Amino acid sequence: MVIECVVVMGLIGAVILMSLKTGKKSAALKSLPLLVVPAMYIVANYVSVPLTAVVDMSAFAVYVALLVIGAIISAVMVGGFMNQFRKKSTKVAYITMCMGFICVFTAVLINDIVVRLF
């Protein structure tokens, strides 16, 4: 699913670029947390096996740990950006959509790892 992650990052990157071109710098900045999980999957794809020599964990455990770390980083970023909204309804909508994407995408990627490795 590396190719799929690259495509997702490309689409989100295009949205960020369009936001920047239209002068909506804050909207572009608030879209950045969506890039962390697919980027971490790509990184984990290449570093999980070499990291097994450093840590006493299986490749599967390292892979999943890196994805969960990516999801946590995204969640922290979403929480930080959420405070920039004034209205509570906008905050709730932002956090619901972003965290929904992050959780579902992380679950799909972990499922892919399980299917591939077992």
Q: Tell me, what's the pLDDT at 91?
A: 94
Per the CB < 8 A criterion, the answer to whether 25 and 58 are in contact is: no
Q: Tell me, what's the pLDDT at 15?
A: 95
The number of C-alpha atoms within 13 Å of 8 and in the hemisphere containing its C-beta is 22
Q: Tell me, what's the pLDDT at 118?
A: 77
Q: Tell me, what's the pLDDT at 75?
A: 97
Local structure of 1: helix, strand or coil: coil
Q: Domain of residue 37: give its range.
A: 2-117
Q: How many structural domains is the chain composed of?
A: 1
Q: What is the value of pTM for the model shown? A: 0.90
Q: Tell me, what's the pLDDT at 116?
A: 85
Per the CB < 8 A criterion, the answer to whether 14 and 29 are in contact is: no
Phi/psi at 104 (5° precision):
-65, -45
Low-confidence ranges of the chain (pLDDT < 70): none
Q: Tell me, what's the pLDDT at 117?
A: 79
95: left (phi over 0), alpha (psi -120 to 50) or beta: alpha
Q: Distance (Å, rounded) from C-alpha 4 to C-alpha 44? A: 15
